[in-house]
Amino acid sequence: MEIETAKSAGFCFGVERAVGTVYEQLKQGRPIYTYGPIVHNEEVVRELEERGVKVITDENALSETIPEENAIVIIRAHGVSEKVYNELTEKGFEVVDATCPFVKKIHRTVMEESRIGRKIIIVGDPDHPEVIGIKGWIHGDCIVFKEVSDAENFVPEEKSEYTLVSQTTFQSKKFKEIVEILEKKEYNVHVVNTICNATEERQRDAEGLARKADAMIVIGSSSSSNTRKLFEICKNCCENTFYVQTPDDLDMSKLKSANLVGITAGASTPQKLIEEVQNNVRGTYF
């Protein structure tokens, strides 16, 4: 059996920056909170909680939280709405913003575009914290396209102008399909492709590896949007694709007949988890 791991598997720049920010702030010895899990990976969050980092889960929890003296709250990589950002400072926290810079760019884009009267279309999952945060910087109307069918069924308001952005981890091919549909209908839509380059690279690598592999392992949290999309992409190319969060989730017997096992991982998956999966597969069959 041969094992090949996608080159782009694991932490992206934004995640590495966010997690690194938490560890850097821990050196100060002050009480640390994160607004929402700092990234979508339970193993990472658990390790930080063991070091004393507390998680404010949502706005309801924020209203009930009384900051300890000198408390710091770190904004997660997915970002937050303008309202939440202001509430954090008003609450008395020192705010450290670990929002991914690519997400922050979307915040600025939608704020500026909505202020000049354009209606905003976001391509992404409306329940995902990144999309919720983006919506919170829009000064005006907003529409979310989750599926290609949303674009097919879309009828714009007469004489309205739209700006379309995307969740950074949205599936690149599906985004292009949506854009093509809107272009064919000749709607007045200004498209800003805000899918992160690292996301596109990870998806291309995963697809290329899945096409030649006999089995694929996709590592990441079930709450991770970009990992779920990697699984969808790999599953379309390789029927024997398995989604795991830790090495314990993988049934090694399902890999017995595979000559080539491909491994990829979501943007919030730490390198040590990837190595543990690699070592488990090697230890079983070598």
Quote the distance between the C-alpha of residue 226 and its chain's center. 5
What is the rounded CA–CA span in Å between residue 232 and residue 161? 33
Give me the active site residues, please: 130
What is the rounded CA–CA span in Å between residue 230 and residue 60? 32
Report the 10 Å Cβ neighbour count for 235.
Answer: 16
Beta carbons within 8 Å of 279's beta carbon, 6+ residues apart? 247
What is the rounded CA–CA span in Å between residue 170 and residue 146? 9
What is the rounded CA–CA span in Å between residue 167 and residue 103? 8
What is the rounded CA–CA span in Å between residue 63 and residue 65? 6
Helix (H) / strand (E) containing 164? strand 162-166
Amino acid of residue 34: T
Q: Is 179 exposed, middle or buried (0-12, 13-18, 19+ CB in 10 A)?
A: middle
What is the rounded CA–CA span in Å between residue 75 and residue 35? 5
**Phi, psi for 280 (deg, rounded to 5):** -65, -40
CA Rg value for the chain = 20
